[in-house]
Amino acid sequence: MVMRRVYQCLFFDLDKTLWDAERNTFETLAWLLDKYHLSEKIQAKDFYLIFDKNNDAVWEEYIAGTTTKEELRLKRFVKTLSYFGVDDVSLASAFSSDFTVFCPSMPHVLEGVHETLEYLRSRYVLCILTNGFADVQKRKLESSKLDQYFMKIFASDQTGYTKPDARMFHYAVTSLRMKKDVVLMIGDDEKVDIEGAYRYGIDQVYLDVRNIPPPVTPTYHIHNISQLKDFL
C-alpha cells in the first residue's frame, strides 16, 4: 500500500491526458482532406490512422534529438500523403501550415477534465509539463478553456529538454523551487511521463487509457482523470 504523501505541485501532461488529441486531430484532418479536395479519394479515418503512426514516429525522432521542430511538422504529412499516393511536398507543406493553425484551436477535452481540475486548483499548484511546443500548447489550453487552471507551462522548446530526460523534470522542479517529494507527475505515456518521472525520483500517476502495462510500477494507476479526486 502506497504511503500517501502531502503534495504541493501537480505536473500534468497535456495531449491525451487532458486535451483530447485523438478527436481534435481527427476532426482537423477531416477538414483538411475536404479543403484540399481529397475527401473522395481518402477516408478520414484511414488518413488519421496512418498520420497517427507517422506522427508518433517523428515525435520519437524529435525526443531523440535527430529531427527538428520544423522537420517534424512537415515530415509527418509528407509521409502520410505519400502513403496514399500523393507525393507532393508543396501540398504537404500546406497541410502542415493549416494543421498547426487549426488543430490547436479545437476545444475538446477528455471526460471529467474540467471538473477534476476545478477540484484540484485550490489545493495544489498546477503546471503543464509537455514535449509539445509552447506556442501551440498555449493555444490548445486557451481554446479548451484549460488555461485558467495552470500557473505555468514547461514546454520542450523553451526548456531545451524533452521528457523522459531527467533534465526536463529537474528544470521544472527547480524553477518552482520545489522539492521532489512534494511533486506529482500525471500523464498517459507509460515511458515518457511515467518512467521519466520515476527515474528522476518524483511520484507518478499513470493515466492508463490504452491498457498498456508501464515499464515501472507507478505510484498510482488510474483509468479516468476523475479518479484523481479519490486520493488528492
Beta strands in the chain, from DSSP E residues, in sequence order: 9-12, 125-130, 152-155, 183-187, 203-207, 220-222
Closest among 187, 183, 178, 230 to 202, alpha carbons compared: 183
Residue 143: count of CB within 10 angstroms of its CB: 18
* 147-193 confidence digits (pLDDT tens): 999 999 999 999 999 999 999 999 999 999 999 999 999 999 999 99
Fold topology of 9-20+109-230: Rossmann fold (3.40.50)
**Whole-prediction pTM value?**
0.93
Fold topology of 21-105: DNA polymerase; domain 1 (1.10.150)
Can you give the residue ranges of every domain in the chain? 9-20+109-230, 21-105
* 182-207 confidence digits (pLDDT tens): 999 999 999 999 999 999 999 999 99
Asked if residue 136 has pLDDT above 60, the reply is yes
pLDDT at 166 (0 to 100): 98
